[in-house]
Amino acid sequence: MTKDPVFEDAAREWLEQIRDRVRLSTYTQYRLKLEKNILPYFTGVRLGEISAASVREFYGKLLEDGVNENYAVHILAQLRMMLRSLYPACGLPNPLGEFALPRNSRTPARREDFREADCYDALHRSLTEQPTLTKAGILLTLTTGLRIGELCALKWSDIDLEEGTLTVKRSLQRVSGGGGSRLVFYAPQSSAGERVIPLTPYLRSFLEPFRKEGSLFFLSGSQTPVEPRTMQYRLRAFLKREGLPDLSFSELRKLFANRCVSRGVDLVTLTDLLGNATVQSTCAYFPRSTMDAKAAAVGLAAGGEE
């Protein structure tokens, strides 16, 4: 790579270099952010002209243009990652230093009227009344922490009702590229993602009436999978019908994680169940502790001291 190239040329070369090192879906997301959001702002700019100040200005412009704050932070994270790779490759000093990503100032407030325990209980009750395959899929995420892509890729051969286990082997995602999009199955990103999850006796009996031949997909009961976007629509339709808070599958995983911790499950075990690579990744599921929780913890540690 030449010294101080035009940023667009360096960025496209970086994209080509990582093509075979990351998952197709990840590469597609990098390419879309680069072409749609990053390159238009830095057109004609040389790599050495990009500074911490210009990166902050870029973030401000994204927000001015109406880009979702959370997505803008993801775009900024990609730009920072690229620059940290490109500066040394071109023999340029890195002016970003310890450049920190902005914190999202918005506080989610979609469950004001529900405590998490109430939300979990109401969901569980609604899902187990008049069971359907869609409800069974939502219940699996709520009670085992499956990701939506893992749920959509699940086959009956992955579920052993006799032994009471569910094995996660693959995930499903729709990726864009080449003028269209397609469904792609891929193996877990890390060894932690491929895991065996125990099924409770209740779940085993709940799933038994739906049992199909092993080669069929769990959610559809056929050779054709239900794709993640469709399953998310079904979840939201179900929640609306039941008068429950609007949740995503990621938020169902968080409900599962919080339920486990509130019942004394240690973080190492929970990390294994969720298929996360590190305990630190699991900790991101939890909000900051409340004063009541801190007081209870101090009380337990004190062991009844006056």
User: For position 300, what pLDDT does the model report?
Assistant: 64
Residue with tokens 């001291």: 305
Instruction: Enumerate residues 6+ apart whose C-beta is below 8 A from 230.
Output: none
Q: Specify the amino acid at residue 247.
A: L
Residue with tokens 């830095």: 42
Q: What's the CA gap between 238 and 217, in Å, rounded? A: 21
State pTM to two decimals. 0.66
Beta bridge pairs of residue 196: 167
Q: Left if phi > 0, otherwise alpha if psi is -120 to 50, otherwise beta: which for 88?
A: alpha
Residue 22: alpha-carbon gap to chain centroid = 16
CATH number of 7-89: 1.10.150
Torsion of CA 108, 172, 219, 243, to 10 degrees: 10
Sheet containing 195-198, strands listed edge to edge, beginning at the edge strand earlier in sequence = 159-160, 165-168, 195-198
User: For position 106, what pLDDT does the model report?
Assistant: 43
Q: Give the sign of the dihedral formed by CA 113, CA 117, CA 121, CA 124.
A: positive
Q: In the CATH hierarchy, which top-level class contains the domain 116-283? A: mainly alpha
pLDDT digits 0-9 by tens, 58-101: 888 888 888 888 788 889 889 988 888 888 888 888 877 767 77
Q: What's the CA gap between 210 and 203, in Å, rounded? A: 12
In the predicted model, residues of the chain with pLDDT beneath 70 are 1-2, 98, 103-117, 176-180, 189, 287-297, 300-306
Q: What's the CA gap between 286 and 270, in Å, rounded? A: 12
For the chain, which residues make up each domain, given as ranges?
Answer: 7-89, 116-283
pLDDT digits 0-9 by tens, 103-118: 655 443 344 444 666 7
46 burial type by CB count under 10 A (0-12 exposed, 13-18 middle, 19+ buried) = middle
User: For position 98, what pLDDT does the model report?
Assistant: 65
Residue 140: alpha-carbon gap to chain centroid = 16
